[in-house]
Structure 1
């Protein structure tokens, strides 16, 4: 008889794990508290417009390929992928913009035009970034975070200084142009930390950016969710939506004996939580929680976000599919997130205009836009504050792109700290998980296997390897491998 496992949540990491565990012969039931599968990668539709509610960037395509290959599939079996060219556009404080092309050759030319000699430094930087990427993706990120010895290899020992130097120090060593510096420091935002506190080893994100490029699945990131759900169902995974887990019940042998789901008890042989790690532990009796409230409060969390999903009654000018508005001071905004948590005075923001590339996102001659302002977690969140910041960014959009858009807004919907808490039980309303700082890397992150309960495991952005969609896919594989290893060991005893 198949061993049963319940998976809490249906985001990327939970879906990944469900596929691996079903393939290994487990009877898998996935429990999603919301009406729609996908966790943060849900979709919002209104009046013919479509919006990816969470992730909008498709980076590191090789990780997606590896995932589907593990099941004898390819991404192209499920969705159509297009490399974006240009990749994205960045607006700066002086009102000018730089558009990042889709090929490395063109990127070198762009750098050289902006700062003579910089293309040579960029080539050296990217050589190091590619090496680190290969080391990370082929080895380190698939480690379960059980022991510090996982990080000790001849390669990492040779690169040890990169763990004690920052991305910022490395980037600014040779590049002097403020604009090029911001472009090179920007990818670490996907890691949820400041360039000044992110180890230089993480420059592999720059290789993901320039070396591998920016891609778009036609129909949006939710197409990847649909693909994973389709794969999971073909492997026998059962999905239950509107299934809120109220508590996790533990027996006298320190094992999960079942779950209360919408107030009804369901026996369970094993549980893997892809839900918020902190929240999952609050579902346990206090004596079985591994980490205290003090522990969580001291952790450096990646930002929360204020998001707007906006339908425009016309096509917009001077924008790209991905557009970054870095026309205010980066460090000042970062301080308001990490150092003195507060609403930023002059926020940087990001905008996704997927209908520039993909006509499935908006009706003909109209534009779909998602705006995102990174924020400190747990800030006061009111309708008045949301409206204030929407007006700030729309005025800047109009000024920088030289057009009027306010009168062409058909509708807007907002999403912020309160919503992250309500929909995802997200700790302090964070959007991305724990920041990838040196003291929160690998074995220093919360553990995948509970140290207090024999058959309880965790996956997702608060454990290894960290925030982001590709790491979430990997986290699901790591968690499933750990379950298989422990299960196999117990079977042989």
Structure 2
């Protein structure tokens, strides 16, 4: 008989796990509480405009290629990729911005033009970053976090010092120009912690940035979700939306099923790609592996205040991805991690996908996505959202030399309360648990429940960590772990 596996949630990690588990011949069903698949990577369509609600950056294309190749497929079988040129632009002041090219040679020239000698230093820095990438992304992250011995390889023993240094210190030793420092510190923000709290080894994120480039799937990141959904169904996975999970049932210490919209459905194995903390609240307390105190003391990646804006004009002097670093980087980071509060002057990011995808906005109009990183768990009110939108849109006008407020057709927002409501996200975090030294690999919440047999987890709060490529990998890791550990009971005659 086939093993029956129920998967909670339909984000990247859940869909990846579903594909791998179905490939092994299991009977796999995905249950999604919202009306469409994708988890945090859903889509908003309004008045001819299309927005990615969640992730908008496509980095590490090799991870996506590796995922699809496991099923004898290619990303191009499902969606079309465009390499962004330039990759992105960073604003520091009026008429003061740095454009990041789509190749390392040009980026080296840009650095050298800003700080003499920095081009050669960048080339050396990137060589080490590429070495770390080859070790981390091609090997270490595909280990399930069961033992600290997973991290000990001939390659990592040569880099042991990099696990105890930090990326910020390394960068500031070599580069003195403040703008270059901020650009080099930017990629590790995807890992969810301050650069000063992120191990030096994570410079592999700089190779993901400058070495591999920034890509865009035609029709947005949701194209990847749609591709994975199609692949899953091709493999026989069943997907139910509007399916709210109310409880995970346990019998004799084993997960035995789930309660969905009031109906109990039996299963041999449960995999949750939903928020890890929330998933454990679906269990009776005695079966929870991690206490409230455990979660409360962990360093979580930021939440976000997001705006989805339809403009009645094309926006000038911006690229598809534009970063606004015209305020104090360290002060904003402190307001997220040290003394959590709303930042006085926030950095922000803007994406204008209609610069690349003409069908994401009506002709002559622009689709704008704005993001302000915030501390999770802080107060969220309509008044605060409006106050901060006014702040960033005023700065956008000043820095890019144009009027846009009068051209806003509509705007929608998404913040802490929505992350909690839509995704059951712990404290409304947007990206999971940060990858600090003490929250890496075997030190993260486990893929396999320590208290309930046949209960597994996947996604941003477990191994390997936050981000879309790690989520794909997490789905593979949990499926491998199930294959390794699960032994079906012999049927009684």
Interval containing the TM-score (normalised by the shorter chain): over 0.9
Aligned-partner Cα distance in 1 for 2:489–2:440: 29
TM-score normalised over the length of structure 1: 0.98
Q: How far 1:193 sits from its partner (Å)?
A: 0.6
Q: What's the offset of the Cα at 1:258?
A: 1.5
Aligned to 1:452: 451
Aligned residues: 490
The question of whether the paired residues in 2 share the 8 Å contact of 1:193 and 1:436 is answered with yes
Aligned to 2:234: 234
Q: Distance in 2 between matches of 1:169 and 1:268?
A: 50
Aligned position for 1:23: 23
- Indicate whether 1:172 and 2:172 are aligned: yes
Distance 1:490 1:299 in 2: 37
Q: Which residue of 2 aligns with 1:296?
A: 295
Q: Deviations for 1:469-493, whole angstroms, at most 9, x for unmatched residues?
A: 00000000000000000125988xx
Aligned ranges for residues 239-258 of structure 1 at < 5 Å? Answer: 239-251=239-251, 253-258=252-257
Query: 1:331 Cα deviation (Å)?
Result: 0.3
Instruction: Tell me if the contact between 2:12 and 2:471 (Cα under 8 Å) persists in the aligned partners.
Output: yes
Runs of 4+ in structure 1 off by over 2 angstroms are 488-491
The 8 Å contact of residues 259 and 265 in structure 2, kept in 1 or not, is answered as yes
Per-residue deviation, residues 55-90 of structure 1 (Å, max 9, x unmatched): 000000000000000000000000010100000000
* Partner residue, 1:436: 435
In the alignment, what sits opposite 1:363? 362
Q: Which residue of 1 aligns with 2:44?
A: 44
Whole-Å separation in 2 of the counterparts to 1:25 and 1:341: 47
Task: Write the distance in 1 (CA, Å) between the matches of 2:372 and 2:313.
Answer: 23
Q: Describe the shift of the 1:490–1:62 C-alpha distance in structure 2 as closer, same or farther (beyond 3 A).
A: farther
Alignment of 1:400 onto 2:413: no
Tell me if 1:71 matches 2:41.
no
The separation in 2 between residues aligned to 1:105 and 1:437, in whole angstroms, is 31
Work out the CA distance in 1 between the residues paired with 2:94 and 2:201: 31
Q: Give 1:174 deviation, angstroms.
A: 1.1
Residues in 2 aligned to 1:268 and 1:488: alpha-carbon distance in whole angstroms? 14
Query: Take 1:138 and 1:107, find their aligned partners in 2: how far apart are those partners?
Result: 25
Cα displacement (A) at 1:95:
5.2
CA deviation digits over 1:127-155, x for unaligned, max 9? 00000000011210011000001001111
Which range moves more in the overlay, 10-19 or 150-159? Answer: 150-159
Q: Is 1:285 the counterpart of 2:293 in the alignment?
A: no
Say whether 1:11 aligns with 2:5.
no
Provide TM-score, normalisation by structure 2: 0.98
Counterparts of 2:136 and 2:488 in 1: how far apart (Å)?
A: 28
Task: Give the structure 2 partner of residue 113 of structure 1.
Answer: 113
Counterpart residue number, 1:418: 417
2:481 matched residue in structure 1 = 482
Q: Does the 8 Å contact 1:301/1:430 carry over to 2? A: yes
1:44-443 equivalent positions in 2, closer than 5 A: 44-93=44-93, 96-251=96-251, 253-443=252-442
CA distance in 1, matches of 2:409, 2:297: 42
The answer (yes or no) to whether the contact 2:94–2:400 under 8 Å persists in 1 is: no
Give, in angstroms, the shift of residue 272 of structure 1: 0.2
Q: Structure 2 CA distance, aligned partners of 1:129 and 1:280?
A: 36
Match of 1:468 in 2: 467
Q: Is the 8 A contact 1:95 1:327 kept in 2?
A: no
Between the aligned partners of 1:198 and 1:77, the Cα distance in structure 2 is 36
Instruction: Report the alpha carbon displacement of residue 94 of structure 1 after superposing the two structures with TM.
Output: 6.2
- Structure 1 gaps, min length 5: none
Given that 2:94 and 2:399 are in contact with CA atoms closer than 8 Å, whether structure 1 keeps it comes out as no
> Partner of 1:29: helix, strand, or coil?
strand
The CA distance in 1 between the partners of 2:93 and 2:183, in whole Å, is 13
Cα-Cα RMSD: 0.9
Give the 3-state SS of the residue equivalent to 1:308 in structure 2.
strand
Could you say what secondary structure the match of 1:346 adopts? coil
Residue 490 and residue 202 in structure 1: after superposition, are their counterparts in 2 closer, same or farther (change >3 A)?
A: farther
SS, match of residue 41 in structure 1? coil
Query: d(CA) in 2 for partners of 1:448 and 1:293?
Result: 18
* Displacement of 1:49: 0.1
1:195-222 deviation line (CA, Å, top 9, x unaligned): 0000000000000000000000000000
Cα distance change on mapping 1:486 and 1:478 into 2, 3 Å: same
Change (3 A) 1:248 1:124: same
* Cα shift at 1:93: 4.4
**Conserved? CA contact 1:461–1:472, under 8 Å:** yes
User: Partners in 2 of 1:17 and 1:409 — Cα distance?
Assistant: 40
Deviation, 1:393, is 0.2
